[in-house]
Amino acid sequence: MRRDPVTAFIALGANLGDARQSVEDALQALARLPDTRVSARSRLYRTAPHEATGPDFINAVARIETGLNAPALLDALQAIEHAAGRERPYVNAPRTLDLDILLYGDARIDSPRLTVPHPRMQGRAFVLHPLADVAPERVSAAELQAVQGQPIKPIEGQRP
């Protein structure tokens, strides 16, 4: 049985290897997921690690329309991370690719594997700025003001 598509927002980030290419490749991989299309993507941003270590991150957010349920989407995202060489040696370790479900329709999910809306998204400039590119109605001026001290810079020469 086919599900009606749900709009979901996916955060993408990387800070090991060719981080920019990893994020671009992940955006293409999202578009290849079953019953899924990327309907918008943010600009790429360079950000200093926040609650993490290592070199600067490249971050973005994608808006997708998907027929996958949330657990299946999480499995698919983790498979993309694994294919990109993602390892999890310790919490907030540098990473070749990190994909997080920020929002899944209007769902509220609190399970051992998945919490949606993402519990820390409001405190992260590297999520809020790219999310504002693709869904400005989802990010308030007050939220952006609250993270203004976190270094973030759009990468030049790209479209929002």
- Point out which residues pair with 61 in neighbouring strands: 11
Q: Which of 86, 88, 124, 138 is catalytic?
A: 86
Nearest to 126 by CA among 15, 33, 35: 15
Please give the helix or strand (H or E) that residue 65 lies within, else none: strand 57-66
Q: CA 17, CA 19: separation in Å to the nearest integer? A: 6
Q: Are 57 and 15 in contact (CB under 8 A)?
A: yes
Helix H or strand E encompassing 115: strand 115-116
Is 18 catalytic? The answer is no
Catalytic residue, chosen from 41, 46, 63, 95, is 95
Can 100 be counted among the known catalytic residues? yes
DSSP H or E segment with residue 11: strand 6-14
138 noted as active-site residue: no
- Catalytic residue, chosen from 43, 63, 98, 133, is 98
95 is catalytic: yes
Catalytic pick from 41, 63, 100, 133? 100
- Annotated catalytic residues are 86, 95, 98, 100
